Structure 1
Amino acid sequence: MSLGLKGPLFCDVCGRKYFHVSSLALHKKVHEGLTTCVICGKVSSKVANLRRHLENSHKLSQEEIRRLVPSAGLSAVPEGERCRYQCDLCGHVYRRRDSLTDHRLHHLGRTACHVCGAVYSTVRSLRRHLRDVHRLPADEVRRNTELDAPAGPAPL
């Protein structure tokens, strides 16, 4: 799975630096006014944050939020390839539920290498990295990437 790494990329409006095309696309929505609350004027950094704000601060229903903020304006995704699964923490969008599930592990710290700190998009990619780069034996790779274990290195 590609992370869309193209960086560094810069916002042509404010100059802010990004390393992923999708992150820059989400940021640009701020300049388009797509992350501004129509009720109180608060500007959110992401459409997902605006939705959360509308729900928590203004107690709007999901139906009301969808009317005010339709489909997150997913213009970064070509028409006909609209993504249906969006991460509520960072706004990344996916076509497949299992891709979103893999992505959420990233937020839990489950895809960061405990040896060098490199971060991967999936646990599978992290396991390959531990095996190929750090030459860890299979049992240690499993121990350090088990999903029911706490995030981070396994105790010695």
Structure 2
Amino acid sequence: MECRLCLGSAPAESSVSIFQRPGPHPERLEQRIRTCCQIQVQRGDGLPETVCLSCKTNLESLISFRKACFRSNETSQLRLGGYLKIKTKEVLLEDVLWDDQPSLPTIHRKYRKICPKPFPSESELVLHDREKPFRCDICLKSFFRKSHLESHKKLHTGIKPYKCDTCLKSFIRKNKLVIHLRSHTGEKPFKCEICLKSFSQKSNLESHKKSHTGIKSHKCEICLKSFSRKSTLECHEKLHTGIKPHMCEICLKSFSHRSSLWSHKKLHSGIKPHKCEVCLKSFTQKCSLELHEKTHTGIKLHKCDTCLKSFSHKNGLVLHLRTHTGEKPYVCEICLKSFSQKSSLGLHKKTHTGIKLHKCDICLNSFINKHGLVLHLRSHTGEKP
């Protein structure tokens, strides 16, 4: 019998068929030859279909050596994962191992990242990628480790042992408290390498980086507007439902998102912590200050194609274009009068309520909006418009 690998001759009793199954196991010798030697082996290809015992032994040694190399490579990457800048790829060894040999432990993807602790033991590395043996009795959520399950169960107890000394807000986990404290200290340790913008949480930084790629894979099915983040799309979709569950307790104005309500409540507080360093004008929100600061630079990147008028903000250009198109998308539900700006509609609606909150300190005459009061005061001061 001629050996397929070394072309040597051997008696039939000391030769092994390439396509014969090794005992009760389903794998053939041909699969191991393809994987380890990168040789294409097919039945009926006209080449020898047996190997000698010497080549079979060498093939087993090659498999053992390959297995040891993979194990050492995994160990090195886990120990030095924080210092290496290489792309790891999951390697499946089922094709190169004998069925009667123990396979390598499945290493959970968590340990491919930087591990601040000492190198974990083998028992810690044997984490099932598909199997999560520890299950919560309340919500049936599964976990890889028992410690993760115990940490999860605290959510159902409602006990929050970690308390903020500044605002007395409580948290279930210590890491949540650490993140919350940054809102008081202003600490933002995670910085974008492109625009140098800082964030208090790493997850926020990762989401922000997607905005620099220009890829907007999440599209709204109603208006076809695209977004780089799925969370932004979910917030946007609430605008189409018309549902505004978050209501201001002071003016009863409703909002689709809770964050919009929080921003709105700052207007009632009268606190304006964000001050412009040029004109010292103050603003309630930081984003309003950033928009205002662009007016001092003199840069107007947004230009009207019709009259070539330029604007420092994109929103200013959008409002200006309506003067050419005649578009008035904001309609009063009572008298059906239309307006080009939402703020103009808001001022108009006050005329239907009859409420006059702006009062003149001199003659006690009241007005619906602040602009009417300003015009009235000129009659007392003699100022010409």
TM > 0.5 between the two? no
**What is the TM-score of this pair, normalised by structure 2?**
0.16
**What is the TM-score of this pair, normalised by structure 1?**
0.31
Based on CA coordinates, which of the two structures has the bigger radius of gyration? 2
Q: Of the two structures, which has the highest relative contact order with CA contacts closer than 8 Å and spacing of 6 or more?
A: 1
